[in-house]
Structure 1
Amino acid sequence: MDAQYDDPRLTGEHLRSIDTPTGTVTLVGVVHDHPASAYRVRTVVTDCDPEILALELPPLSLPIFERYAEDTRTPPLFGGEASAAIQAATTDRVVGIDGPTLPFLRRLAATLYREGGSLETVRGVLDRFASVTKNTLRCRLAGSIAAVTSIRMEVDSPVTYATDRTDGPERQAENERRQIERARAVMDVFEPSRAVAFGDDVRETHMADRLAGFRNDGDVVAVVGRHHLDRVAERLDARLGGDGASNR
């Protein structure tokens, strides 16, 4: 571990690195809106200074998070880890790697057809897709309004935790660890529905493919949900023909 990463919020359990022909893809796992995650992405983006910053966001949602990142406060008040990462980046190449997009929709439809899911699964997948699309369009509208006015719309209420950015690294890291463990415990007890598992699989495959498309473009930092970190890393490494993603 690098010396500058001697911080409990920056342990290898949250970071994966995969070599490409022209650089390294560094995957940063986050808990949405958590102060430890915001600190982690700011530190990794600053340290790596990547040619590309990739975020687990639909491309249509990016403008509002870019506006949030213009905040004079560090990290920005709104936008969680995504706007914190954008604020820390020096590159102008910031990309969204999640759906919905037309390629994502084609992948979703093809996978549904190939796997022949039940009517209940298909309905659940389409309901989730419609919900995500609605939120994406709301983000796009907010970004368009922010681009021509001084109004900054809050598209999602920030998640609050029993810790904030004023607390020390150990307290933040411990709280974040409890959030991750609690989420895993819930998943162990309540197996996700087929629609949820199916949607996650398509999203992770789509994000890995998007990242693989940057293989010749230099260093990349990708910010993804902690729940997706290992599976995206495994799929990306398989596409690049590597020997396995390593903890940074």
Structure 2
Amino acid sequence: MDAHYDDPRITGEHLRSIDTPTGTVTLVGVVHDHPASVFRVRTVVTDRVPDVLALELPPLSLPLFERYAEDTRTPPVFGGEASAAIQASTTDRVVGIDGPTLPFLRRLAVTLYRKGGSIGTVRGILHGLASVTKNTLRCRLAGSLAAVTSIRLEVDSPVTYATSRVDSPERQAENEHSQITRARAVMDAFEPSRAASFGDDVRETHMADRLAEFRNDGDVVAVVGRHHLEPIAEQLGARLADPDR
């Protein structure tokens, strides 16, 4: 990373490193589809040359982003930071660490049972889960279609910002910082619903557990949403410090 120490898009506020018995897990926080985040992901993956690349994606969605990463353009047109990370990686171990999966659903059910919740909370969780599952299946279908044809489907429209990758690093970093600050301000002003908070807690716990599974597999780079960065880093650090957890 030394060659990029003066690039404002790559700073410690977006990165966390946790030592494992066989290497280091590097967490990269991103703002979805943001050009500064795409650059950061590509740079970290290229510099670290991880043995495992972990992405905040459901495993079923992964084939679609692998197809996006086959784009001859750099970074790929579709797939944001996820396809950019895959394109920059040399490892054949690319994994999705987010739900929905059967272990994730079991964790969700057990946690909901233990903590309880109102009918409204449960309804909100189920609604969110149904939406995510629907999108995951769409990604899987699109990935399967792309694997056997020349058709490339855009499942989600890329998010656009008041900056692009042709702008200066300073402008990109400034705009990304404003996006993060604005998101935090909204969360502070409007407390997230119980369902949303509950869902984030379960997802972060699930992703930390998944990353802990790679403790003996060498160096890992994990690309996660910026607001998940600190909770996942804290939980992963605790798990690696106490393998019996």
TM over 0.5: yes
Give the aligned partner of residue 156 of structure 1: 156
What is the Cα deviation at residue 6 of structure 1? 1.9
Distance 1:54 1:65 in 2: 13
Distance 1:88 1:53 in 2: 10
TM-score, length-normalised on structure 1? 0.96
Q: Structure 2: which 5+ runs fail to align?
A: none
Q: Structure 1: which 5+ runs fail to align?
A: 243-248
1:99-148 deviation per Cα after TM superposition (whole angstroms, max 9, x unaligned): 00000000000000000111111111111001000000000000000000
Q: Which amino acid aligns with 1:226?
A: R
Give the aligned partner of residue 219 of structure 1: 219
**After TM superposition, which residue ranges in structure 1, 4 or more long, deviate above 4 angstroms?**
none
Give the aligned partner of residue 117 of structure 1: 117
Give the aligned partner of residue 202 of structure 1: 202
Give the aligned partner of residue 60 of structure 1: 60
Tell me the number of residue pairs that the alignment of Structure 1 and Structure 2 aligns.
Answer: 242
Q: Which amino acid aligns with 1:166?
A: V
Distance 2:164 2:31 in 1: 13
Give the aligned partner of residue 29 of structure 1: 29
> Alignment RMSD, CA only?
0.8
Give matches, 1:30-49, under 5 Å.
Answer: 30-49=30-49
What is the Cα deviation at residue 5 of structure 1? 2.7
Give the aligned partner of residue 245 of structure 1: none
| DSSP 3-state at the match of 2:9 | helix
Distance 1:217 1:21 in 2: 9
Question: Matched residues, percent identical?
Answer: 84
Q: Which amino acid aligns with 2:191?
A: E
Distance 1:187 1:7 in 2: 28
Give the aligned partner of residue 79 of structure 1: 79
TM-score, length-normalised on structure 2? 0.98
Give the aligned partner of residue 106 of structure 2: 106
Of 199-208 and 110-119, the range deviating more from structure 2:
110-119
Give the aligned partner of residue 228 of structure 2: 228
For the Cα contact (< 8 Å) 2:18–2:26, is it kept in 1? Answer: yes
Give the aligned partner of residue 51 of structure 1: 51
Give the aligned partner of residue 134 of structure 2: 134
Give the aligned partner of residue 246 of structure 1: none
